[in-house]
Amino acid sequence: MPHESPSITVRPLAGAVGAEVAGVDLAGDPDDATVAALRRIWLDHGVIFFRDQDLPPARLLAFARRFGEVIEYPFLRGLDGFPEIIPVVKLPHERTNFGGVWHSDTAYLDIPPMATMLVAREVPPHGGDTLFACQTAAYEALSDGMKRLLAGLQAVNSSARADVSRTREDRMRDSGRSDAPKEYTATHPVVRTHPETGRRSLYINRAHTAAFAEMTEAESAPLLDYLFDHQVRPEFTCRFRWQPGSLAFWDNRRVLHNPVNDYHGFRRVMHRVTLAGTRPR
């Protein structure tokens, strides 16, 4: 697809999702045509990656605001002076990594975020990659019968599922928000339609989705477990290797992500911003 900024290059990372974008300085106040081109590239690829970007907090926020309204994360305090930016940190002695289960960000909110931007500040010498999985590809690979079955279903998403709650504990201890509620739950369609592309995608995930609406967890588990495995099949995924100054910008309406926890003994520090979304439909 042609883009009007001729200097921008797009290199897909895998078949279904993810592309590295070069030739643009995100801190250099890109013009409206460049931002529009980036938005189209982002919608085409689901998650885009930039390298060697000089984006200290104020500039990260300024860039993020070109794409939407920046919102705060309910469980953790942000950086001093920048409540919208949360540090995503794993320290050398820690064993769990924040968000280390396949998920879409805060899917337990009634209005979950459209997008997330994550910029790497300090990375381990090896490991600490992040995986992404395209939920449009996952949905489209299902049989017609399964698509029909899922079309009418809603699912309950919770912030309090044990596996993902554990991944927040280290940070809740040092930067938890005292005003955070105990649990959020939200019911969303199992298959959502992307408000910008019109394409359908699976909108459940192993970290947050507890059950189909009006069914028990036991009744839901067999089909949910099947879908949790299906939705992250290798051919729907890509994998990103971070360097300091790398930025990932993903579409929570279309992709899941999962940071790989393979760097015990090393420190990894990222800064995260999320952008407001709309109610999934």
Cα–Cα nearest to 207, from 275, 159, 137: 159
Place of tokens 């042609």: 2
* Residue 189 vs 259, nearer CB to ligand OGA: 259
257 flagged as catalytic: yes
Contacts to ligand OGA from residues 98-117, by CB under 6 A: 98-99, 105, 116
Where b means 16+ CB within 10 Å and e means fewer, 230-242 reads ebbeeebbbebeb
- The vertex-165 CA angle with 156 and 163, nearest 5°, equals 80
Residue 99 makes contact with Mn ion by CB under 5 A: yes
Task: At 250, give phi and psi (nearest 5°).
Answer: -115, 155
Task: At 155, give phi and psi (nearest 5°).
Answer: -135, 150
Distance CA 87, CA 224 (A): 31
44 flagged as catalytic: no
Q: What DSSP state is assigned to residue 213?
A: T
* Residue 44 vs 129, nearer CB to ligand OGA: 129
In the set 45, 103, 194, 253, the catalytic residue is 103
Is the Cβ–Cβ distance between 87 and 79 less than 8 Å?
yes
In the set 161, 188, 254, 257, the catalytic residue is 257
Q: Supply the minimum distance, in Å, between the C-beta of residue 99 and Mn ion.
A: 4
Contacts to ligand OGA from residues 132-191, by CB under 6 A: none
229 flagged as catalytic: no
Residue 84 makes contact with ligand OGA by CB under 6 A: no
Binder among 88, 137, 186, 275 for ligand OGA (CB under 6 A):
88
Residue 251 makes contact with Mn ion by CB under 5 A: no
Residue 105 makes contact with Mn ion by CB under 5 A: yes
| Length in residues, the chain | 281
Using CB under 6 A, list all residues that contact ligand OGA: 88, 98-99, 105, 116, 118, 130, 257, 259, 270, 272
Name the residues annotated as catalytic: 103, 105, 257, 272
